[in-house]
Amino acid sequence: MTEAAVRANETTVPVMPCVSVEETLEFYQALGFHVTYQQTRPYLYLALEWSGFALHFGKPPKNMDPSQEDTAGCLVMVDDVAPYHSEFTRALRAAYGKIPAKGRPRITRLRPGATRFTVIDPSGNSIIFIQRDEPEELEYGGSKNLTGLARALDNARIFSEFKNDDRTALRVLTTALRKHEATAPTVDVATTLATLIEIATALDDTVGIEDTAGIDGIDNWRRRLTALDLTASQRHQATKALHDAESLHLWRTPAAPEPTTPDAP
């Protein structure tokens, strides 16, 4: 092929496995995708489009386990991820009455300033929306320019946002808090506690959280956060990177259980 025959106008379309036609169509149509092609015989093939890109689906391989969420994936490069996340969460809330943030299918959180989020579909495929100006290199373990809790927070951010691994992020922060809490700046302690509450709330798995965090837990972290002596500016700094600090009621101490009256003999 001569150089003159190659034109830079290619279009790539991922073809991902589909374990359930009904569930796949329901979810992607809830997101706002339009079905452009659909057949189940003589073989399965679906085509859906949204905005300027398309996703196609075919027959899954034998013994595929969607619960592993390592089936297939597609990267969608955009100028700014926030409007996409906002549009998808709006559509999902309208379709389901809530945003599916756990289980499968779901959409991951998008913190202020984050550069990517992921949509996981019923078949375990990951559609990852990535901002074009995202940093090319990540420092796993946290930025070497940071120390203590600040470095652990940066490391947890990478696990949560880039690996979709909230449980490891939770483990990183609980370990770092025990190690550095006594010597760390108060605002770093507050930021760590607030982030732990957000991640644990998103996981919504009490047994798993207890296994990961040991004796810690949401109520304990909330009490410790509320007890910190912080200025209004420090409170804002501690929560500015969270997805929805207001809805977490971070500064409220859990209400004590009402006393019970012993049964009369």
Q: Tell me, what CATH number does 41's domain have?
A: 3.10.180.10
Does 208 share its domain with 113?
no
Residue 23 and residue 127 in one domain: yes
Which run of H or of E encompasses 15? strand 15-17
What pTM was estimated for this model as a whole?
0.78
* pLDDT at site 264: 52
Give 78's pLDDT tier (boundaries 50, 70, 90): very high
Two tokens, residue 221: 């972290």
Q: Whole domain around residue 215: which residue ranges? A: 148-248
* Residue pLDDT, tens place only, 184-230: 999 999 999 999 998 888 886 433 444 444 456 888 998 999 999 99
- Whether 156 is in a domain gets the answer yes
Counted domains in the chain: 2
In this structure, are 18 and 120 located in the same domain? yes
Cβ-count burial 37-61 (b if 16+ within 10 Å, e if not): eeeeeeebbbbbbbeebbbbbeebe
The DSSP 8-state label assigned to residue 126 in this structure reads E
> Residue 215 falls within a domain, yes or no?
yes
Same domain (yes/no): 198, 244: yes
Q: Say if residue 104 is in the same domain as residue 28.
A: yes
262, pLDDT greater than 60 = no
CA-to-CA dists, residue 165 to 78, 98, 203, 249, 258, angstroms: 23, 22, 10, 24, 37
d(CA 232, CA 67): 43
Residue 249 has pLDDT above 90, yes or no: no
Asked, for residue 198, whether it belongs to a domain, the answer is yes
- Would you say residue 152 lies in a domain? yes
Q: Is 141 a member of any domain? A: no
Q: Using CA of residue 257, residue 258, residue 262, residue 263, what is the dihedral sign?
A: negative
